[in-house]
Amino acid sequence: MVLSGLVLGALLGFVMQRGRFCVTGAFREVWVSRRTRWLTAFLIVIAVQSVGVFALDGLGVITLAPESPLPLAAVIIGSLIFGFSIVLAGGCATGTYYRAGEGLVGSWLALIFYALFAAVMKYGPLAGANQGLRSQQLPLTSIHESLGISPWLLVGALVAIVGLVTWHHLRKPKLQVAGLPPRRTGLAYVLFEKPWHPFASAVVIGVIAIAAFPLSYATGRESGLGITTPSADLMSFLVTGNTDRGFGWGVMLILGLLVGSFVAARASGEFRLRVPDARTAARSVIGGAGMGIGAAWAGGCTIGNAMVNTALFSYQGWLAFGFMVLGTGIAARLFILPHRRSGALSSGQPQSATVPA
């Protein structure tokens, strides 16, 4: 059953690569271009997953583990660091994995330092600092438990809100973009050439996230999709040879991400080795390290916290989501918007043209 992680990870990597599903871009475009199309796609993943996971729990297929008390300071600080760092790294955890599969050497650097510093924070010399901050906890677990209500009330509200926002986006007129004649036909065209709609990709990713729960539970790992701890486990094994954590379901998942994204990139003609310049490489290293530190403190990345824990309505998940978006915004204002404004000024365009409504 452990190999099911490899298969599911490959499927997730394939879908994210072909769907160009970049969580960093979703968060960043809120601040840079004032658009929420990709953020809406991310919310669709959460809503679809929430329906499926609570249905599995209600049917007795899985039994959701109790949420841990909220390490408030660790979640806030870690999420801000993580959100800031993904802008430097050019992608979040899964984005870095699937772009590494496309041949981006900068993503390789970010991925290595992300896994390395996650391992340092969880199992290495900074484990004490990690545990110390995360030990400062509040007696808060999930939103529905605090309110004393059924989680299905929150699921219904989430689905309704996300549905309205999705409908708003779908009502907008589509832009017709001229392109080259298709090189493939039929299923091959859909899989490897046709641009995927972000909302369709989001639904598929949501279904994959649901499937992760029973498949992971079957191996004794009572969780869904997760990237940070498996990355730390893999790095710990590679550096020390320690087989205590081994190649469990989570490690198979992240290895599958690389395989699936590589297959998708090769088949669609998007794979090629791209070596970054020195400045980009340095940012990738710093961003990757910050991602590892931030995710360890926050208790998860954009997948484990902002996608999975939000679907379970945990305080940690929704707080992490908000502060990751805020951290991304701070980095965008420091590293992206000034360049756009200076570019607009040098070309004689008004500054407002760089940030369309």
- Mean pLDDT estimate for the chain: 89
Give the largest CA-CA distance in the chain: 63
Q: Could you tell me the sign of the dihedral formed by the alpha carbons of 118, 123, 126, 130, in that order?
A: positive
In this structure, what are the phi and psi dihedrals at residue 70, rounded to the nearest 5 degrees?
-85, 115
Q: Which element (helix H / strand E) includes 45? A: helix 37-58
Residues in the chain: 357
Can you give the pLDDT at residue 2?
86
CA 336/CA 30 separation, integer angstroms: 13
CA 137/CA 84 separation, integer angstroms: 24
CA 108/CA 220 separation, integer angstroms: 30
Q: Could you tell me the sign of the dihedral formed by the alpha carbons of 82, 87, 89, 94, in that order?
A: positive
Query: SS3 string of 292-347?
Result: HHHHHHHCCCCCHHHHHHHHCCEHHHHHHHHHHHHHHHHHHHHHCHHHHHHHHHHC
In sequence order, the 6+-apart residues with CB closer than 8 A to the CB of 35 are 29, 356
Confidence band of 94 (pLDDT split at 50, 70, 90)? confident
- Per-residue pLDDT of 316-327, as tens digits, reads 999 999 999 999
Instruction: Kindly list the domain boundaries of the chain, sorted by start residue.
Output: 3-170+185-344
Can you give the pLDDT at residue 356?
30
CA 46/CA 317 separation, integer angstroms: 11
| Residue 122 Cα distances to 117, 208, 278, angstroms | 8, 27, 29
- Per-residue pLDDT of 142-184, as tens digits, reads 999 999 999 999 999 999 999 999 999 999 887 665 566 777 7
Residue 345 has pLDDT above 60, yes or no: no
- One-letter amino acid of 191: L
- Per-residue pLDDT of 32-54, as tens digits, reads 999 999 999 999 999 999 999 99
DSSP E strands in 18-155: the ranges are none
Can you give the pLDDT at residue 129?
92
Q: What is the mean pLDDT of residues 249-260?
A: 95
